[in-house]
Amino acid sequence: MTSGFVALAIMVLGAVAPSAVGAVTYATEVDWNGKADAGWDGNGVASQSRKDTDNALGAPDQVGVNSVSFLSLGRGNTAVFGFGTLFRGVATVFEVTYTCLVGGSGFCTNYPEEVQVYAGTSYAADSFDLSGFDYIGAVRNGSAQGGASFALGGIYSYLAFVDASPAGANRDGFDIDSVWVEAVPVPGAAVLMASALAGLALTVAVRRRA
């Protein structure tokens, strides 16, 4: 009887529906397989700053004309982001392309760049193995200058971005300034757990008296 009640309590907690909109949570970690000498600054000079993975973490920066506060993936490279929480619903990525001329295709026509987006529930650091990830869709840099959002079909732990930019002179691939997701909230879970434990204690007490 007691073990059955505990199982029921666990089932109740597992059935708690998250709210319609979770808290916005920015990426806290990133695993990137690019090279530190692959980037370019606004004058076409090799830039180490664009290869600092910390640039893609946290909230979007106020990017100026000569800012390098973003991570350039490099053509064909992959970056996997973690958020320290489960997430679902909608995710958003912010891209930076100087003097972007947005075309009808969603590209910056002067510097067209694109990423393929994947989402997964588990990931081994430094493996870049996306075999267990779901394909979400493609994002082009013209549509992501102020943030491009995309819907997720499940609950995940990681987002992966694989550069699929066209070839061209001085191209360093999709430039990520920030990524955010909607964390999965579990409202009232603590209250439910407390109630379940209190009910368990009451059941045990009643059975002892009987």
Cα separation, 61 vs 57, in Å, equals 10
Query: pTM for this one?
Result: 0.76
Give pLDDT, residue 194.
Answer: 52
Give pLDDT, residue 184.
Answer: 94
Strand pairing class (134-140; 24-26): unpaired
Nearest-10 Cα torsion for 59, 171, 105, 147: 0
Q: What are the tokens at 45?
A: 């000079």
Q: Rounded to whole angstroms, what are the CA distances from 88 to 25, 27, 157? A: 11, 14, 9
Q: By 3-state DSSP, what share of the chain in percent is helix, strand and coil, each rounded to 5?
A: 20, 30, 45
Per-residue pLDDT of the chain (210 residues; tens, 9 = 90+): 333 323 322 233 333 333 445 799 999 999 999 865 544 444 444 467 788 899 999 999 865 555 678 999 999 999 999 999 999 999 999 999 888 999 999 999 999 999 999 999 999 999 999 999 999 999 999 999 999 999 999 999 999 999 999 988 777 899 999 999 999 986 644 443 455 555 555 444 444 455
Q: Is 10 helix (H, G, I), strand (E, B) or coil?
A: helix
Give pLDDT, residue 102.
Answer: 94
